[in-house]
Amino acid sequence: MNSATRSSRPHPFFIPFSRRRLLQSLALATTGFWAHGALAEMLALTAKQTEGPFYPDHLPLDTDNDLIVVNDSLTPATGDITYLSGRVLGPNGDPVRGATVEIWQCDNNGAYLHTGSGNAGRRDANFQGYGRFLTAGAGEYFFRTIKPVPYPGRAPHIHAKVRMNGRELLTTQLYIKGCAQNETDGIYSRLHDAKARESVTVNFTPMRDVKGGAFAAKWDIVLGVTPPDGDPHTRVDVRNSR
């Protein structure tokens, strides 16, 4: 996201003030529901998955955590709006502060932000396609995006990557719980362990109190390593990482 504070067209779910400030506030508002290290003994590590061929080969100028609106555009992306949130945790359940969570996915037409993507000619220019968020004190992150749709040969999914202090800690993919296409997906089917599947499969729950409709998905990402504390004021530059 550009460093300057921006305003954009208000959404029924939003209070009309700075978009950056709003998205940060929505993420921080959930902090009180998460206890430090709670139920650590019950945590299962989030399964690793392939990065896939369509990590953006050129990042957009707008890389914030709102993928629905690009820069100051008044036209939102097409698709079912989804609020994706959760925490990044270490293997003992301790929150990981200062990690960069990246997500990328195809748009509602099945096109990625990549020159080699199928359906590239139909790409929705109003969909950011990629976003990132720096985790806060309780390890929380927040994105506004669209509910994932199928890409040819794949079940609906969202790609995710966690980085910290210049290190890549996890690359994986997120799937919709109950989606019939999961069972025939070549990547998802490699997860034979039930807990591994559960770690990357979540409910996309309708938000009935949101005018126009939206979905909410909560996904805690549990790392297999305990990274050192990050600097919350240092953002990881990933533009030249590939």
* Number of Cβ atoms within 10 Å of the Cβ of 239: 10
pLDDT tens for residues 63-105?
999 999 998 888 999 999 999 999 999 999 999 999 999 999 9
* Number of Cβ atoms within 10 Å of the Cβ of 92: 11
The reply to whether 227 falls in a domain is: no
The reply to whether 3 falls in a domain is: no
Structural domain for 64, as ranges: 22-222
Could you tell me if 88 and 141 are in contact, meaning their C-beta atoms sit under 8 angstroms apart?
yes
Given a cut of 80, whether residue 16 has pLDDT beyond it is no
Count of domains for the chain: 1
The reply to whether 5 falls in a domain is: no
The reply to whether 236 falls in a domain is: no
Give the percent of the chain with pLDDT over 90. Answer: 67
Q: Tell which wins on pLDDT, 54 or 229.
A: 54
The reply to whether 183 falls in a domain is: yes
pLDDT value of residue 228: 67
What is the residue type of 163?
A: R
Angle (nearest 5°) at CA 10 between 122 and 205: 70
pLDDT value of residue 72: 83
pLDDT tens for residues 193-241?
999 999 999 999 999 888 889 999 999 999 998 776 644 433 333 333 3
Q: Give the predicted TM-score (pTM) of the model.
A: 0.80
The domain spanning residue 33 has which CATH number? 2.60.130.10
The reply to whether 114 falls in a domain is: yes
Element (H, E) at 23: helix 19-28
The reply to whether 237 falls in a domain is: no
The reply to whether 2 falls in a domain is: no
